[in-house]
Structure 1
Amino acid sequence: MRDFHLPGRSATYATNGMCATSHPLAARTAIDILSRGGNAMDAAIAGAVLLGICEPQMTGIGGDCFALYTRPGSNEIHALNGSGRAPAAANADTLRAAGHKDVPLYSAQAVTIPGAVDAFCHLSETEGKLGLDTLLAPSIHYAETGVPIAPRVADDLPEATTCLQGHGITHFSNNGKPFGIGDMFHAPGQAEVLRRIAKDGRDAFYTGEIADDMLRTLTEMGGAHSAEDFAATTCMPTNPINGHYKGVDLYEHPPNGQGATAILLLNILSNFDIAGMDPQGAERVHIEAEATKLAYDARNRFMADPDHTARLAHMVSPETAAKLAALINPKRAMQSATQVSEAVHRDTIYITVVDKDHMAVSLIYSIFHGFGSGIASEKFGILFQNRGAGFTLEEGHANEFGGGKRPMHTIIPGMLAEHGRVTLPFGVMGGAYQSTGHARFVSNLRDFDMDLQVALDAPRAFADADELKVERGYAPEVHQALADMGHNVIIPDTAIGGAQAIRIRDDGVLEGASDPRKDGCALGY
């Protein structure tokens, strides 16, 4: 239990349904959908789409999503890949010939076809109860009437807004300046798009006037996209992968997501007595940082489009983890195992919902960097993700930029199960941090028996390229001890990531927790 003498928040408890996400309006919308007879998938879709209006720098209908979910009365976990592909005409040779070492972040070349809308339509039809017209109505309302900018959103905007260009400035800034706390953000063009999707489904987005608007903008910016690329976009049902850590099974999305990295990281940590360490001490941070360097090096070598990934079994093997663990010096930091191949970023939203029948949904939805590519379509203001920056230009690499391929994604939903029963859908935002965040959250629960909310509140550190980012929540002596071990310790300007989780207790009570690093909350009824 938390110390009530100190600032903090309590977990939320309810029995009929629970939502935890990063903005209160989205949480309230999800609970409203549940109370009207919708199930957890209905609520998750309604809340997620609204988050694109409440947190436009984080996500939107020009982005991608991944989902893990169960069905009522079942503990079988299903996975859906809602990530889009590079245009068929995309070619790494063209970028290399132009002198690029990486896919340019804020260019049409970095724009993969948005996959989230197709995924939401598919999930609504196959798993939902209420229909898209009901689920999209709250987002249409708020897109038209406006949403006040929340504090964490306002904190992100000065940096994120700098990438906006052309129509992106028109649709997502306050006359070229960042919106401030309490300013009203409107998206009337997106309201019209959602209205048409509610009426005519995914084809309204991927064909016709809306697709023409997106295609025209991308073509003018030098993109190789075609009408056929948009029309052919489809989500992909798949099977989750899993690993085991101290009595709990961690389920992750398979490639092209980085979920296998979280499994590998926990497998490495299982070779150390983490539970015997100070949970807020330098020793634990050091071991986790070294394990992160090694796990992310493996990620950068092997994670790619599922049709091009051949080393998944190697990634999640305990034998692989044991060999990597043996490379860690408990007293001294190694040089970075490799430079992280993707650009550093932190922009994603996450939502989890559990309903009265214990259908559980873990859904993550993103446009990659803050305001994605910075490019928005002219008429409807659809902001494009820059997921293509997740590719590499290394010739022959499994994740090499190429036509029709899905890039390696950092966004990963998670679920925990115990003794075959799904007990805890969760997610950790924070770009590349997410795999480390999953491992730390599971370790907080299993090694230190932390309460759910406390496990999210606890301070974080992240070995990112040649830096060890350490939050101010750690004591100054911890920062110094890490520096003495050889780490390049920095205090990041922005808190590391954000997270939400819902525990399904044995007695049926739902316990929801939401990270104070975001504006959101857990709500139940």
Structure 2
Amino acid sequence: MRDFQIPGRSMVVARHGMAATSHPLATLGAIDILRQGGNAMDAAIAACAIHSAVEPGSTGIGGDCFALYCPGGHGTPIAYNGSGRTPAAASVEWYRERGFAEIPRQSPHAVTVPGAVEAWARLLADHGRLSLEQVLRPAVTYAREGYAVAPRMAFDWARQRDLLMADPASRRIFLPGDVPPGAGDVHVQTELADTLEGIGRHGPAHFYRGAVAEDMVRTLRAGGGLHTMEDFATAAGEYVTPVQSRYRGHDLFECPPNGQGIIAQIILNILEGLPVGEDVLSVERLHLLTEATRLGYGVRDAVVADPALSEVPVDWMLSEQLAGRLRASIDPARAMPAPPVQQPEHKDTVYITVVDKDRNAVSFINSIFHAFGSGMTAPRSGVLFHNRGQSFVVEPGHPNCIGPAKRPMHTIIPAMLMKDGRIELSFGVMGGHYQAMGHAYFLSAVLDHGLDIQSALDLPRLFPLPGRDVVEIERPFPAATRDGLRALGHTLVPASIPLGGGQAVRVDWATGTLWGASDHRKDGMAMGY
């Protein structure tokens, strides 16, 4: 329980339903859906669609999603991979012949076919109670009638002005008067409203075929992209088997590769055999977490890829053999150099978790990767494209090398923690590459140090940037902690923006109550009834 004399948030506690998102309107929308008779899946997708309208820099129908669903809160969660693929013509030879050493952010080559809409429709049809039109209706209203821009969204928006100015449709839609909307300004997205309304009435075919797909393909090809109508028409996600690991007597479930959830499990496997101490913010603990993260991300950048087209050694990645070898390489008195891999930096995503009265639980994440993604918008449909293709490498033979109809290594990862076959936590941490460390950091605080879920989300964060010998660190860490980390050889740099965000819902089976928490780094909140 938090100290009520110190600024902070209380956990939200309720009996019948709980939702936690990174925007108040999305959380309210989820609760409204639950109170109207929808279940957790209906509520999560409604909240995500609302995010697309009111938090356009973080997510949208031009992005991808992953989900975990636990019906009734018992048994092995169901996992869905809603990440999109490259065009069929996207061979690595094509890129190398044209001198690409990496995939540029504001280019069609960073745009894989968006997977979110197909995933929403499939999950809703299989596990929801309400129609797609009912679930999308609140988002249509916000996009068409306008919404007031929230403070964190305004902060992120202002940082992307140059990106948005470079694309005519993005400039028109997202920079009215060539100025990023400020907190409290009212913003509308008429084209998005029309597209969402069409998806609600006609299903995902409205997005992947016909006029909307033509608008997207025309926009991407005009910039030199390889996308075709066939690439969009054949887009489909898939149900996958979640990866499972143990930590402190609990079962952690993550979506499997091409996502990086397995890296959170590697980090925790390393920590399982290390002394974590009593102080959650001790220099010793932070050092061990940082080193375990460096090692885990080194594995990620070597082998995580699309398992349909590359061999991803999941069993080896989760083995004690690997964890023990990595653990033994940590020097408790000295920082190690970073593995020499450079990935694009963070980050934008929304994470949503909902648990309903029947204890159906959804852990749901939807992303356009960087803030405002690629910065490219299809002008007639209002679809803002993500830039997830930047995660590919242009290196023949590498598991994550760009190739035809291939999914990139993905950073977005929903998670669930189970105890004795019942769900205990549905949670996620946003922040691009930070997410795998974020999961480990959060769970260790809860399971090793007994923090409640809100206090665990409130902790200051640090992150060793993949491929770089620097550690981003948030301002709240005291000077003594910074000095202690520097003394161990860590090079610290101030985090330019908050490291991610996060939400969590805890199920208390003994009392029949639900506990919700939402990260102060975002505009959002938890709400229950």
Ranges in structure 2 where 5+ consecutive residues have no aligned partner = none
Q: Secondary structure of 1:367's partner?
A: strand
- Which residue does the alignment assign to 1:355? 356
Moved more, 81-90 or 312-321: 312-321
- Which residue does the alignment assign to 1:49? 49
| 1:73 shift after superposition | 6.2
| 1:493 shift after superposition | 2.0
Whether 2:480 is the aligned partner of 1:503: answer: no
The answer to whether the Cα contact below 8 Å between 1:343 and 1:389 also exists between their aligned partners in 2 is: yes
The structure 2 residue matched to 1:309, chosen from 311, 318, 325, is 311
The answer to whether the Cα contact below 8 Å between 1:18 and 1:523 also exists between their aligned partners in 2 is: yes
| 1:72 shift after superposition | 2.9
| 1:99 shift after superposition | 2.4
Q: What amino acid does structure 2 have at the position aligned with 1:71? A: P
What does 1:157-176 align with in structure 2 at a 5 Å threshold? Answer: 157-164=157-164, 165-176=167-178
Whether 2:39 is the aligned partner of 1:39: answer: yes
The structure 1 residue matched to 2:207, chosen from 176, 199, 205, is 205
Task: Return the alpha-carbon distance in structure 2 between the equivalents of residues 338 and 318 of structure 1.
Answer: 24
The answer to whether the Cα contact below 8 Å between 1:255 and 1:309 also exists between their aligned partners in 2 is: no
Q: What amino acid does structure 2 have at the position aligned with 1:209? A: A
Q: Secondary structure of 1:444's partner?
A: helix
| 1:28 shift after superposition | 0.3
Whether 2:519 is the aligned partner of 1:518: answer: no
| 1:486 shift after superposition | 1.2
The answer to whether the Cα contact below 8 Å between 2:506 and 2:515 also exists between their aligned partners in 1 is: yes
- Which residue does the alignment assign to 2:423? 422
The answer to whether the Cα contact below 8 Å between 1:268 and 1:291 also exists between their aligned partners in 2 is: yes
Q: Secondary structure of 2:481's partner?
A: helix
Q: What amino acid does structure 1 have at the position aligned with 2:208? A: Y
The answer to whether the Cα contact below 8 Å between 2:283 and 2:485 also exists between their aligned partners in 1 is: yes
Q: What amino acid does structure 1 have at the position aligned with 2:230? A: E
| 1:286 shift after superposition | 1.0
Q: What amino acid does structure 2 have at the position aligned with 1:160? A: Q
Task: Return the alpha-carbon distance in structure 2 between the equivalents of residues 466 and 42 of structure 1.
Answer: 43
Q: Secondary structure of 2:417's partner?
A: strand
After superposition, the C-alpha distances for 1:412-434 in whole angstroms (9 at most, x for unaligned) are 00000011111111000000000
- Which residue does the alignment assign to 2:108? 108
Task: Return the alpha-carbon distance in structure 1 between the equivalents of residues 163 and 84 of structure 2.
Answer: 22
The answer to whether the Cα contact below 8 Å between 2:301 and 2:341 also exists between their aligned partners in 1 is: no
- Which residue does the alignment assign to 1:480? 483
After superposition, the C-alpha distances for 1:458-489 in whole angstroms (9 at most, x for unaligned) are 11111112211111121111111111211110
The answer to whether the Cα contact below 8 Å between 1:13 and 1:511 also exists between their aligned partners in 2 is: yes
Closer, same or farther in 2 for the Cα pair 1:96/1:491, shift >3 Å? same
The answer to whether the Cα contact below 8 Å between 1:213 and 1:379 also exists between their aligned partners in 2 is: yes
Q: What amino acid does structure 1 have at the position aligned with 2:487? A: D
Task: Return the alpha-carbon distance in structure 2 between the equivalents of residues 222 and 168 of structure 1.
Answer: 18
- Which residue does the alignment assign to 1:365? 366
Q: Secondary structure of 1:243's partner?
A: strand
The answer to whether the Cα contact below 8 Å between 2:73 and 2:422 also exists between their aligned partners in 1 is: no
What does 1:69-468 align with in structure 2 at a 5 Å threshold? Answer: 69-72=69-72, 74-164=74-164, 165-274=167-276, 276-307=277-308, 308-340=310-342, 342-464=343-465, 465-468=468-471
- Which residue does the alignment assign to 1:67? 67
Q: What amino acid does structure 2 have at the position aligned with 1:115? A: G
Task: Return the alpha-carbon distance in structure 2 between the equivalents of residues 387 and 42 of structure 1.
Answer: 26
Quote the RMSD (CA, aligned, Å): 1.0
| 1:75 shift after superposition | 2.6
The answer to whether the Cα contact below 8 Å between 2:27 and 2:525 also exists between their aligned partners in 1 is: yes
TM-score, normalising length from structure 1?
0.98
After superposition, the C-alpha distances for 1:78-105 in whole angstroms (9 at most, x for unaligned) are 0001010000011222222332221111
The count of residues paired between Structure 1 and Structure 2 equals 523
| 1:74 shift after superposition | 3.6
The answer to whether the Cα contact below 8 Å between 1:41 and 1:361 also exists between their aligned partners in 2 is: yes
TM-score, normalising length from structure 2?
0.97
Moved more, 135-144 or 65-74: 65-74
Task: Return the alpha-carbon distance in structure 1 between the equivalents of residues 13 and 99 of structure 2.
Answer: 55
Task: Return the alpha-carbon distance in structure 1 between the equivalents of residues 136 and 227 of structure 2.
Answer: 28
Q: What amino acid does structure 2 have at the position aligned with 1:62? A: G
Moved more, 467-476 or 409-418: 467-476
Q: What amino acid does structure 1 have at the position aligned with 2:38? A: G
Q: Secondary structure of 2:297's partner?
A: helix
The answer to whether the Cα contact below 8 Å between 2:278 and 2:449 also exists between their aligned partners in 1 is: no
Runs of 4+ in structure 1 deviating by more than 3 angstroms, as ranges, are none
Task: Return the alpha-carbon distance in structure 2 between the equivalents of residues 266 and 162 of structure 1.
Answer: 39
Aligned-residue identity in percent = 47
Q: Secondary structure of 1:123's partner?
A: helix
Q: Secondary structure of 1:348's partner?
A: strand
The answer to whether the Cα contact below 8 Å between 1:302 and 1:312 also exists between their aligned partners in 2 is: no
The answer to whether the Cα contact below 8 Å between 2:305 and 2:312 also exists between their aligned partners in 1 is: no
The answer to whether the Cα contact below 8 Å between 2:426 and 2:505 also exists between their aligned partners in 1 is: yes
Q: Secondary structure of 2:236's partner?
A: coil
Task: Return the alpha-carbon distance in structure 2 between the equivalents of residues 179 and 285 of structure 1.
Answer: 38
| 1:13 shift after superposition | 0.5
Q: Secondary structure of 1:72's partner?
A: helix
The answer to whether the Cα contact below 8 Å between 1:293 and 1:338 also exists between their aligned partners in 2 is: no
The answer to whether the Cα contact below 8 Å between 2:74 and 2:421 also exists between their aligned partners in 1 is: no
The answer to whether the Cα contact below 8 Å between 1:161 and 1:371 also exists between their aligned partners in 2 is: no
| 1:277 shift after superposition | 4.5
The answer to whether the Cα contact below 8 Å between 2:279 and 2:449 also exists between their aligned partners in 1 is: no
Task: Return the alpha-carbon distance in structure 2 between the equivalents of residues 62 and 231 of structure 1.
Answer: 15
Task: Return the alpha-carbon distance in structure 2 between the equivalents of residues 57 and 343 of structure 1.
Answer: 17
Task: Return the alpha-carbon distance in structure 2 between the equivalents of residues 129 and 174 of structure 1.
Answer: 38
